[in-house]
Amino acid sequence: MSAPQWKVALVTGTNCNLGMNIVYRLIEAEEDDTRITIIVTSRTLPRVREVIDNIKAYVDKLDRSGIVDYDYLLVDFTDMVSILNAYYEMNKKYQKLDYFFACSAQGVYDGIDWIGAVKEICANPIKGATDPHYKIQRVGVKSQDGMGLVFQCNVFGPYYLTQKLLPLLENAKGRIIWISSIMSDPKYLSFDDLQLLKTDSSYEGSKREIDLLHIATYDKLRERGIKQYLIHPGIFTSMSFFQYLNVFTYYGMLFMFYLVRWLGSPWMNISGYTAANAPVYVAKLVSQTFEKQDVKYGSACTRDGHEYIKIQEVDKTGAEDLLKYLDDLKADWDDKLKDQITNSRQRN
Protein backbone atom coordinates (compact mmCIF):
# COMPACT_ATOMS: atom_id res chain seq x y z
CA MET A 1 0.00 0.00 0.00
CA SER A 2 1.41 3.44 -0.92
CA ALA A 3 1.85 6.10 1.78
CA PRO A 4 -0.80 8.86 1.86
CA GLN A 5 0.13 11.98 -0.10
CA TRP A 6 1.00 15.32 1.44
CA LYS A 7 -0.18 18.48 -0.34
CA VAL A 8 0.70 22.09 0.48
CA ALA A 9 -1.68 24.90 -0.56
CA LEU A 10 -1.20 28.66 -0.25
CA VAL A 11 -4.32 30.82 -0.66
CA THR A 12 -3.75 34.58 -0.64
CA GLY A 13 -6.56 36.66 0.87
CA THR A 14 -7.84 33.52 2.58
CA ASN A 15 -10.11 35.50 4.83
CA CYS A 16 -12.47 36.66 2.11
CA ASN A 17 -15.63 34.79 1.18
CA LEU A 18 -13.97 33.31 -1.92
CA GLY A 19 -10.64 32.44 -0.27
CA MET A 20 -12.28 30.53 2.57
CA ASN A 21 -14.53 28.60 0.20
CA ILE A 22 -11.59 27.71 -2.02
CA VAL A 23 -10.00 26.11 1.04
CA TYR A 24 -13.23 24.25 1.95
CA ARG A 25 -13.68 22.89 -1.56
CA LEU A 26 -10.03 21.99 -1.99
CA ILE A 27 -10.07 19.94 1.21
CA GLU A 28 -13.26 18.22 0.05
CA ALA A 29 -11.76 17.52 -3.38
CA GLU A 30 -8.55 15.90 -2.10
CA GLU A 31 -8.36 12.18 -1.38
CA ASP A 32 -9.72 11.43 2.08
CA ASP A 33 -6.36 10.29 3.47
CA THR A 34 -4.21 13.04 1.89
CA ARG A 35 -2.47 15.22 4.43
CA ILE A 36 -3.09 18.88 3.52
CA THR A 37 -1.22 21.88 4.82
CA ILE A 38 -3.23 25.06 4.34
CA ILE A 39 -1.18 28.25 4.40
CA VAL A 40 -3.46 31.21 4.95
CA THR A 41 -2.41 34.80 4.32
CA SER A 42 -3.57 38.08 5.74
CA ARG A 43 -2.13 41.48 6.54
CA THR A 44 -3.03 41.04 10.22
CA LEU A 45 -2.73 38.34 12.87
CA PRO A 46 -6.34 38.60 14.20
CA ARG A 47 -7.68 37.82 10.73
CA VAL A 48 -5.29 34.88 10.44
CA ARG A 49 -6.67 33.48 13.72
CA GLU A 50 -10.25 34.09 12.60
CA VAL A 51 -9.83 32.34 9.26
CA ILE A 52 -8.00 29.34 10.74
CA ASP A 53 -10.76 28.95 13.35
CA ASN A 54 -13.37 29.03 10.58
CA ILE A 55 -11.56 26.43 8.49
CA LYS A 56 -11.01 24.17 11.52
CA ALA A 57 -14.72 24.30 12.37
CA TYR A 58 -15.56 23.33 8.77
CA VAL A 59 -13.02 20.51 8.62
CA ASP A 60 -14.25 19.07 11.95
CA LYS A 61 -17.62 18.42 10.29
CA LEU A 62 -16.06 16.59 7.31
CA ASP A 63 -14.88 13.53 9.18
CA ARG A 64 -11.86 12.95 6.91
CA SER A 65 -9.04 10.60 7.90
CA GLY A 66 -6.16 12.69 6.48
CA ILE A 67 -4.55 15.37 8.62
CA VAL A 68 -5.23 19.02 7.85
CA ASP A 69 -2.66 21.34 9.31
CA TYR A 70 -2.41 25.11 9.25
CA ASP A 71 0.25 27.72 8.77
CA TYR A 72 0.14 31.41 7.95
CA LEU A 73 2.00 34.18 6.21
CA LEU A 74 1.56 37.83 7.10
CA VAL A 75 1.89 39.54 3.77
CA ASP A 76 0.88 42.90 2.39
CA PHE A 77 1.07 42.94 -1.40
CA THR A 78 1.46 46.73 -1.41
CA ASP A 79 4.80 46.35 0.40
CA MET A 80 7.68 44.69 -1.45
CA VAL A 81 9.65 43.99 1.74
CA SER A 82 6.65 42.16 3.15
CA ILE A 83 6.38 40.08 -0.04
CA LEU A 84 10.06 39.19 0.13
CA ASN A 85 9.66 38.17 3.76
CA ALA A 86 6.76 35.92 2.81
CA TYR A 87 9.02 34.24 0.26
CA TYR A 88 11.81 33.75 2.83
CA GLU A 89 9.33 32.19 5.27
CA MET A 90 8.03 29.79 2.64
CA ASN A 91 11.46 28.87 1.41
CA LYS A 92 12.71 28.21 4.95
CA LYS A 93 9.84 25.91 5.87
CA TYR A 94 8.73 24.11 2.73
CA GLN A 95 10.43 22.05 0.06
CA LYS A 96 7.42 22.15 -2.25
CA LEU A 97 4.18 23.97 -2.98
CA ASP A 98 1.30 22.17 -4.72
CA TYR A 99 -1.18 25.03 -5.08
CA PHE A 100 -0.90 28.81 -5.20
CA PHE A 101 -4.29 30.56 -5.38
CA ALA A 102 -3.86 34.30 -6.08
CA CYS A 103 -7.14 35.40 -4.52
CA SER A 104 -6.37 38.62 -2.61
CA ALA A 105 -7.32 41.91 -4.21
CA GLN A 106 -7.91 45.52 -3.36
CA GLY A 107 -9.70 48.41 -5.04
CA VAL A 108 -9.43 52.09 -4.10
CA TYR A 109 -13.15 52.67 -3.66
CA ASP A 110 -14.71 55.92 -2.57
CA GLY A 111 -18.39 55.05 -2.39
CA ILE A 112 -21.30 54.40 -4.71
CA ASP A 113 -22.92 56.77 -7.17
CA TRP A 114 -26.49 55.87 -6.17
CA ILE A 115 -28.21 57.87 -8.91
CA GLY A 116 -25.94 56.26 -11.52
CA ALA A 117 -26.65 52.85 -9.96
CA VAL A 118 -30.42 53.24 -10.24
CA LYS A 119 -30.12 54.46 -13.85
CA GLU A 120 -27.77 51.60 -14.90
CA ILE A 121 -29.83 48.90 -13.22
CA CYS A 122 -33.17 50.17 -14.55
CA ALA A 123 -31.76 50.53 -18.09
CA ASN A 124 -30.30 47.01 -18.15
CA PRO A 125 -30.40 44.97 -14.92
CA ILE A 126 -28.03 42.23 -16.17
CA LYS A 127 -25.40 44.68 -17.40
CA GLY A 128 -25.91 46.89 -14.35
CA ALA A 129 -25.17 43.99 -12.04
CA THR A 130 -22.34 42.31 -13.95
CA ASP A 131 -20.50 45.34 -15.40
CA PRO A 132 -21.27 48.19 -13.02
CA HIS A 133 -19.85 51.69 -13.46
CA TYR A 134 -21.35 53.21 -10.33
CA LYS A 135 -18.63 52.08 -7.90
CA ILE A 136 -16.51 55.20 -7.45
CA GLN A 137 -12.75 54.60 -7.56
CA ARG A 138 -10.07 57.11 -6.64
CA VAL A 139 -7.49 57.98 -9.29
CA GLY A 140 -3.70 58.11 -8.86
CA VAL A 141 -3.39 56.28 -5.53
CA LYS A 142 0.17 55.07 -4.92
CA SER A 143 1.57 52.53 -2.47
CA GLN A 144 4.33 53.35 -0.01
CA ASP A 145 6.67 51.70 -2.54
CA GLY A 146 5.70 54.41 -5.05
CA MET A 147 3.79 52.10 -7.40
CA GLY A 148 0.14 52.21 -8.43
CA LEU A 149 -1.51 50.69 -5.36
CA VAL A 150 -4.05 48.52 -7.16
CA PHE A 151 -1.46 47.44 -9.74
CA GLN A 152 0.99 46.42 -7.02
CA CYS A 153 -1.58 44.72 -4.80
CA ASN A 154 -3.46 42.78 -7.45
CA VAL A 155 -0.86 42.15 -10.14
CA PHE A 156 2.80 42.91 -9.56
CA GLY A 157 3.00 41.88 -5.87
CA PRO A 158 1.46 38.42 -6.37
CA TYR A 159 3.44 37.98 -9.62
CA TYR A 160 6.69 38.78 -7.79
CA LEU A 161 5.86 36.22 -5.09
CA THR A 162 4.95 33.48 -7.58
CA GLN A 163 8.21 34.10 -9.44
CA LYS A 164 10.15 33.66 -6.21
CA LEU A 165 8.20 30.50 -5.38
CA LEU A 166 8.72 28.80 -8.75
CA PRO A 167 11.34 26.34 -7.45
CA LEU A 168 8.90 25.14 -4.75
CA LEU A 169 6.08 24.86 -7.31
CA GLU A 170 8.42 23.03 -9.66
CA ASN A 171 9.27 20.49 -6.94
CA ALA A 172 5.57 19.65 -6.55
CA LYS A 173 4.63 19.97 -10.24
CA GLY A 174 2.30 22.51 -8.71
CA ARG A 175 -0.51 24.73 -9.95
CA ILE A 176 -0.95 28.48 -9.94
CA ILE A 177 -4.52 29.77 -10.10
CA TRP A 178 -5.13 33.44 -10.88
CA ILE A 179 -8.48 34.92 -9.87
CA SER A 180 -9.70 37.33 -12.52
CA SER A 181 -13.17 38.81 -13.02
CA ILE A 182 -15.92 39.11 -15.62
CA MET A 183 -15.08 42.81 -15.51
CA SER A 184 -11.64 42.41 -17.12
CA ASP A 185 -12.60 43.85 -20.50
CA PRO A 186 -9.65 45.12 -22.62
CA LYS A 187 -11.24 48.60 -22.63
CA TYR A 188 -10.17 49.02 -19.00
CA LEU A 189 -6.43 48.86 -19.73
CA SER A 190 -4.31 51.46 -21.46
CA PHE A 191 -0.74 50.44 -22.29
CA ASP A 192 0.35 54.01 -21.47
CA ASP A 193 -0.81 53.46 -17.92
CA LEU A 194 0.21 49.95 -16.86
CA GLN A 195 0.41 51.01 -13.19
CA LEU A 196 -3.24 52.07 -13.46
CA LEU A 197 -2.61 55.52 -12.03
CA LYS A 198 -4.61 57.59 -14.53
CA THR A 199 -7.78 55.53 -14.69
CA ASP A 200 -10.95 55.51 -12.60
CA SER A 201 -11.28 51.76 -13.32
CA SER A 202 -8.02 50.56 -11.77
CA TYR A 203 -9.66 47.44 -10.27
CA GLU A 204 -11.00 46.30 -13.66
CA GLY A 205 -7.68 47.23 -15.32
CA SER A 206 -5.80 45.07 -12.80
CA LYS A 207 -8.02 42.09 -13.66
CA ARG A 208 -7.35 42.62 -17.37
CA GLU A 209 -3.62 42.59 -16.54
CA ILE A 210 -4.09 39.27 -14.73
CA ASP A 211 -5.69 37.81 -17.88
CA LEU A 212 -2.74 38.97 -20.00
CA LEU A 213 -0.16 37.91 -17.44
CA HIS A 214 -1.59 34.40 -17.48
CA ILE A 215 -1.65 34.25 -21.28
CA ALA A 216 1.98 35.41 -21.48
CA THR A 217 3.32 32.93 -18.94
CA TYR A 218 1.40 29.63 -18.83
CA ASP A 219 3.33 28.01 -21.69
CA LYS A 220 6.78 28.62 -20.20
CA LEU A 221 5.58 27.42 -16.81
CA ARG A 222 4.26 24.19 -18.33
CA GLU A 223 7.78 23.50 -19.64
CA ARG A 224 8.89 23.58 -15.99
CA GLY A 225 6.10 21.19 -14.95
CA ILE A 226 3.93 23.93 -13.41
CA LYS A 227 0.33 24.28 -14.60
CA GLN A 228 -1.22 27.73 -14.46
CA TYR A 229 -4.90 28.56 -14.92
CA LEU A 230 -7.06 31.64 -15.15
CA ILE A 231 -10.50 31.67 -13.57
CA HIS A 232 -13.23 34.08 -12.63
CA PRO A 233 -15.66 33.49 -9.79
CA GLY A 234 -18.74 35.22 -11.23
CA ILE A 235 -20.46 37.53 -8.76
CA PHE A 236 -20.84 36.66 -5.07
CA THR A 237 -21.36 38.48 -1.81
CA SER A 238 -18.20 40.08 -0.55
CA MET A 239 -17.03 42.20 2.36
CA SER A 240 -15.38 44.75 0.07
CA PHE A 241 -18.52 46.90 -0.26
CA PHE A 242 -20.17 46.39 3.12
CA GLN A 243 -18.94 49.74 4.43
CA TYR A 244 -20.99 51.55 1.77
CA LEU A 245 -24.22 49.58 2.40
CA ASN A 246 -26.87 49.70 5.10
CA VAL A 247 -29.46 47.05 5.87
CA PHE A 248 -31.82 48.31 3.13
CA THR A 249 -29.21 48.67 0.39
CA TYR A 250 -27.63 45.32 1.34
CA TYR A 251 -30.92 43.46 0.93
CA GLY A 252 -31.68 45.57 -2.16
CA MET A 253 -28.37 44.36 -3.65
CA LEU A 254 -29.20 40.74 -2.81
CA PHE A 255 -32.65 41.11 -4.37
CA MET A 256 -31.04 42.50 -7.53
CA PHE A 257 -28.58 39.56 -7.64
CA TYR A 258 -31.43 37.00 -7.46
CA LEU A 259 -33.50 38.96 -9.99
CA VAL A 260 -30.60 39.09 -12.45
CA ARG A 261 -29.98 35.37 -11.99
CA TRP A 262 -33.65 34.72 -12.67
CA LEU A 263 -33.46 36.94 -15.77
CA GLY A 264 -30.80 34.59 -17.13
CA SER A 265 -27.32 35.78 -16.13
CA PRO A 266 -25.14 32.70 -15.48
CA TRP A 267 -22.73 34.68 -13.28
CA MET A 268 -24.90 35.43 -10.24
CA ASN A 269 -23.42 32.80 -7.96
CA ILE A 270 -24.12 34.89 -4.84
CA SER A 271 -22.68 32.10 -2.64
CA GLY A 272 -18.91 32.06 -2.09
CA TYR A 273 -19.00 28.25 -2.23
CA THR A 274 -20.43 28.30 -5.78
CA ALA A 275 -17.96 31.04 -6.75
CA ALA A 276 -15.11 28.74 -5.62
CA ASN A 277 -16.16 26.03 -8.10
CA ALA A 278 -13.87 27.11 -10.99
CA PRO A 279 -10.70 27.68 -8.91
CA VAL A 280 -10.89 24.21 -7.39
CA TYR A 281 -12.04 22.64 -10.67
CA VAL A 282 -8.84 23.76 -12.40
CA ALA A 283 -6.73 22.89 -9.38
CA LYS A 284 -8.06 19.34 -9.11
CA LEU A 285 -10.54 18.12 -11.62
CA VAL A 286 -9.46 19.18 -15.10
CA SER A 287 -8.42 16.23 -17.23
CA GLN A 288 -4.64 15.93 -17.46
CA THR A 289 -4.86 15.28 -21.20
CA PHE A 290 -7.55 17.52 -22.66
CA GLU A 291 -7.39 20.63 -20.54
CA LYS A 292 -7.08 24.04 -22.19
CA GLN A 293 -4.98 26.72 -20.55
CA ASP A 294 -5.47 29.70 -22.88
CA VAL A 295 -9.04 30.32 -21.72
CA LYS A 296 -10.80 31.60 -18.62
CA TYR A 297 -12.77 29.11 -16.52
CA GLY A 298 -15.81 30.78 -14.97
CA SER A 299 -17.91 29.70 -12.00
CA ALA A 300 -21.45 29.83 -13.34
CA CYS A 301 -24.88 28.72 -12.17
CA THR A 302 -28.37 28.10 -13.50
CA ARG A 303 -31.48 30.07 -12.52
CA ASP A 304 -32.04 27.75 -9.58
CA GLY A 305 -28.41 27.97 -8.45
CA HIS A 306 -26.99 24.71 -9.86
CA GLU A 307 -23.32 25.24 -10.49
CA TYR A 308 -21.37 24.54 -13.67
CA ILE A 309 -18.16 25.64 -15.39
CA LYS A 310 -18.44 28.09 -18.27
CA ILE A 311 -15.36 28.66 -20.41
CA GLN A 312 -14.57 32.02 -22.04
CA GLU A 313 -12.01 33.05 -24.65
CA VAL A 314 -9.41 35.63 -23.64
CA ASP A 315 -8.33 38.52 -25.90
CA LYS A 316 -4.54 38.10 -25.97
CA THR A 317 -3.58 41.53 -27.34
CA GLY A 318 -0.61 43.01 -25.51
CA ALA A 319 0.23 39.99 -23.34
CA GLU A 320 3.96 39.99 -24.23
CA ASP A 321 4.23 43.78 -23.73
CA LEU A 322 2.76 43.50 -20.26
CA LEU A 323 5.07 40.62 -19.37
CA LYS A 324 8.12 42.59 -20.48
CA TYR A 325 7.01 45.50 -18.30
CA LEU A 326 6.52 43.23 -15.28
CA ASP A 327 9.82 41.43 -15.79
CA ASP A 328 11.76 44.71 -16.09
CA LEU A 329 10.07 45.93 -12.91
CA LYS A 330 10.88 42.64 -11.20
CA ALA A 331 14.56 43.03 -12.13
CA ASP A 332 14.52 46.56 -10.63
CA TRP A 333 13.01 45.30 -7.40
CA ASP A 334 15.36 42.30 -7.22
CA ASP A 335 18.17 44.83 -7.28
CA LYS A 336 16.58 47.17 -4.72
CA LEU A 337 15.82 44.28 -2.34
CA LYS A 338 19.02 42.31 -2.72
CA ASP A 339 20.34 43.12 0.76
CA GLN A 340 16.98 42.88 2.49
CA ILE A 341 16.67 39.95 4.89
CA THR A 342 14.20 40.26 7.76
CA ASN A 343 11.76 37.98 9.51
CA SER A 344 8.11 38.81 8.74
CA ARG A 345 6.85 37.36 12.02
CA GLN A 346 8.84 40.02 13.93
CA ARG A 347 7.31 42.85 11.93
CA ASN A 348 3.83 42.91 13.45
In the residue annotation, 56 being an active-site residue is answered as: no
Shortest Å distance, C-beta 74 to ligand NAP: 9
By CB under 6 A, the count of residues binding ligand NAP is 27
Q: Which position among 203, 229, 273, 281 bears the catalytic label?
A: 203
**Interaction of residue 163 with ligand NAP, rule CB under 6 A:** no
**Only segment of 28-36, 69-77, 123-131, 212-220 that touches ligand NAP (CB under 6 A):** 69-77
Between residues 149 and 322, which has the closer beta carbon with respect to ligand NAP?
A: 149
Q: Which residues contact 103 (CB under 8 A, 6 or more apart)?
A: 11, 12, 13, 14, 16, 18, 19, 22, 179, 279
CA atoms of 125 and 121, how far apart (whole Å): 4
**Interaction of residue 216 with ligand NAP, rule CB under 6 A:** no
**Only segment of 15-23, 24-32, 108-116, 129-137 that touches ligand NAP (CB under 6 A):** 15-23
Between residues 23 and 226, which has the closer beta carbon with respect to ligand NAP?
A: 23
In the residue annotation, 238 being an active-site residue is answered as: no
Shortest Å distance, C-beta 223 to ligand NAP: 27
In the residue annotation, 207 being an active-site residue is answered as: yes
CA atoms of 116 and 120, how far apart (whole Å): 6
Q: Which position among 7, 207, 227, 296 bears the catalytic label?
A: 207
Q: Report whether 35 contacts 5 (CB < 8 A).
A: yes
**Interaction of residue 85 with ligand NAP, rule CB under 6 A:** no
Q: Which residues bind ligand NAP (CB under 6 A)?
A: 13, 15-19, 42-43, 47, 75-78, 103-106, 153, 179, 181, 232-233, 235-236, 238-240
